[in-house]
Amino acid sequence: MIKQSNIFEVYESNEGKRRQLFTVNLTPTQNVYGEKLVEQDGAEYREWDAFKSKLAASILKGSPNIGIRKNDAVLYLGSASGTTASHVSDIIGSEGIIFAVDISPRVMRDMVFLCYNRKNISPVLADSNKTDMLKERMSAVDVVYQDVAQKNQVGIFLKNTELFLKKDGYALLAVKARSIDVTKQPKQIFKDARQKLENDLTIIDYRELEPFQKDHCMFICKKNSKG
């Protein structure tokens, strides 16, 4: 039985010990990455795989609020071919918009195909570290979501939240420890990241993402008067 979860526009089922997340499919009959489609009471739901999506992993690890709502404008840095972005697209609905930024032309090709069906995603082939280029193609957004495997992940995130995130907006950062420093313990890297984030943003939630995603964590932040 699929039912509303505690998070806006996110649904769940509980079979035995297994909790499974879903979003309502914005493009019925079409799946994106091989996920299961389930019909119930006239609605079609897409299974959301936490082993393929750090945002789903963060919810299953207990995040009580992901800060993404219907009709939001979202800047998504590191969208790849759209696995997680497609679920964000379901959450924000047809009146919302995602600017889906990725540096890789190969994954952006798949993203462009996805955008033919999902009209609320706008593909942007760009380096998220080069905000001068992004500035020409972006408006202010309600949410910044970042998942880029770069050494200076935190710096890129802070630059983009400062420039594009509205006051009181939410900013989600998936940190991949191994991309920052393979020689350091992930926990130390997460601690260092926290210190840098706290200078500019208010951290409202933090989750380590094992067993779904090894050596990753998620910070959910809010831009307030400090930002």
The residues of the shown chain that bind ligand SAM, judged by CB under 6 A, are 53-54, 77-80, 83-84, 101-104, 107, 127-129, 147-150
Q: Nearest approach, Cβ of 150 to ligand SAM (angstroms)?
A: 5
CB of 28 to ligand SAM, least distance (A): 21
Cα–Cα distance for residue pair 3/127, rounded to 1 Å: 39
- Distance CA(59)–CA(87), nearest Å, equals 13
Select 63 or 128, whichever has its Cβ closest to ligand SAM. Answer: 128
Least distance to ligand SAM, CB of residue 9, Å? 17
Q: Which residues are within 8 A (CB) of 164 and not within 5 positions of it... i.e. 6 or more apart? A: 75, 134, 138, 139, 140, 141, 144
- Main-chain dihedrals φ then ψ at residue 20, nearest 5 degrees: -120, 135
**14 vs 155, beta carbon nearer ligand SAM:** 155
Rounded least distance, CB 2 to ligand SAM, Å: 22
**Contact of 134 with 155, CB cutoff 8 Å:** no
User: Helices (DSSP H) in the chain: which residue ranges?
Assistant: 54-60, 83-92, 105-117, 131-135, 153-164, 177-180, 186-198
The least CB distance from residue 140 to ligand SAM, in Å, is: 19
Alpha-carbon torsion (199, 202, 205, 211), positive or negative: negative
Min separation Cβ 226 and ligand SAM, Å: 25
CB of 60 to ligand SAM, least distance (A): 14
Q: Which helix (H) or strand (E) holds 66?
A: none
**Which CB, 9 or 147, lies closer to ligand SAM?**
147
Neighbours of 117 (CB within 10 A): 13
Nearer of residues 102 and 205 to ligand SAM, judged by Cβ: 102
Task: Give the nearer residue to ligand SAM in terms of CB position, either 72 or 102.
Answer: 102
| 12: three-class secondary structure by DSSP | strand
C-alpha dihedral (54, 223, 200, 132), degrees to nearest 10: 80
Which of 181/198 has CB closer to ligand SAM? 181
Q: Which is nearer to ligand SAM, 125 or 202 (CB)?
A: 125
Nearest to 91 by CA among 52, 137, 143, 50: 143
